[in-house]
Structure 1
């Protein structure tokens, strides 16, 4: 099953690489052509899972809306875990909320990363071809020790993991346990940076590209709507405060 997935992705990637060559990128400049192919490949994958991201955003928004009801249930059935689980599931079903709906889009890039590991392991550069890209001498070379290139790529991989997660957390209301989420983001980013020290540069380029696309999606799907919603709520609160002040102001009697 895994080999079949790798084979399909290999054919897909080869087709994209051939397309890049057909568009005019010199065939001997394999570093550039393969990087362009991986950027195009990542964009296609992210486009395919965009509906899941939109669904995840809606699910997370609904989850935030029912938090007060969930807290009431937690207080009401504090001594009855089985009843609490039953009522919580019922509440989520009534509001069309999935516990795992928000996690799937975030987890999907990882198996794709490991499948690409198998894809690139089988790719051999054309003898004499230029496989460099920017400051990377060879995009297919496995790291030999921890050098300048490895450190820079590890930092970029960690940042491309952390920044979208940070933006997502800022778009969500502050709740108890928020620090745990922040810590989890840091740990996940650190793990990705550490793992990238063992990966081929082209794999890390895939991850960084995906992180940039995820950052853009998070900004428009999560952060921007959250900012607009917060602004509307603040305006309503300000209007309510003005109305309350007007009502509480004593009227002067006419003589």
Structure 2
């Protein structure tokens, strides 16, 4: 397994050691030097992944806009699954919609995590930071595993709120998010603390990018749709005019006099 990641592991090893040496050259030593180095490395990796996240956001937006038409196709050919699939494929191709475009970028951090696992596995890292006695060992207080699970779940939760519901028979994104978060929390129990810090920092950055690139635009669009629907509903509702009331009142008074 390690041979698969050897090229990228060697790259990360060289990069991290260079960053660590640079930080120590600035007069920072001990565990703090390792933490600052991993912060810089995390920011660099996430900056590289950012274009993929933006591309995924655009793909998600196109999927949202296409949902009404997709539902029409599914309803039209509900008794002919083969025809329905063919029409959906044609519609997606004509409108440049990728059903996997929003999912693939979220999987990219996983091979990087595995490469960094082997990077730090062969690296002698020592030093304390905050409550962590040894960055080269798992967190004995289990705070980092909890943070790892949360930093995995929250961005996925926001993404699910800004993503169209899965088609019938599709995988539930909420269930997937919980399973992924639980898996990361469990793995973090055995990982070196320095690696879990990388994952938590990456999760925080992912949370920010998901909020601004996916969640906020989706919620803004949703509010616009609600506002338009409210205006249409208001236009359909008969309006009560004061003059109508005056006419009814006069008519009522005339009847009483008679």
If the length of structure 1 is used for normalisation, what is the TM-score?
0.85
Deviations 1:75-111 (A, max 9, x none): 3333443333322121111111112111121101111
**RMSD, aligned α-carbons:** 2.6
Per the alignment, residue 152 of structure 2 pairs with 161
Shift in CA distance, 33/43, structure 1 to aligned 2, threshold 3 Å: same
What residue number does 1:136 align with? 132
Residue number in structure 2 paired with 1:32: 32
| TM-superposed deviation, 1:15 | 1.9
Relative distance call for 1:169 and 1:157 in structure 2 (3 A) is: same
- Name the structure 1 match of 2:67: 67
Q: C-alpha distance in 2, partners of 1:176/1:92?
A: 14
Seen in structure 2, the aligned counterparts of structure 1 residues 179 and 117 have a Cα distance that, compared at 3 Å, is: closer
Q: Which runs of 5+ in 2 are unaligned?
A: 251-258
Distance verdict in 2 for CA 1:62–1:248, change over 3 Å:
farther
Distance 1:207 1:174 in 2: 28
Count, aligned residues: 243
Structure 1 residues 240 and 72 mapped into 2: Cα distance closer, same or farther (>3 Å)? closer
Q: Does 2:14 correspond to 1:11? A: yes
Task: Tell me the secondary structure at the aligned position of residue 120 of structure 2.
Answer: helix
Q: Which moved more, 1:230-239 or 1:35-44?
A: 230-239
What runs of 5+ residues in structure 1 fail to find an aligned partner? none
Residue 207 of structure 1: which of 188, 195, 199 is its match? Answer: 199
CA distances 1:114-161 after superposition (whole Å, capped 9, x unpaired): 100111112124xxxx611111111112x4xxx742x21111111111
Distance 1:40 1:82, change over 3 A: same
Alpha-carbon distance in 1 for matches of 2:145, 2:132: 13
State the partner residue of 1:152.
143
Larger radius of gyration: 2
| Corresponding position of 1:193 | 185
2:155, 2:166 → 1: CA distance?
19
Shift of 1:248: 8.4
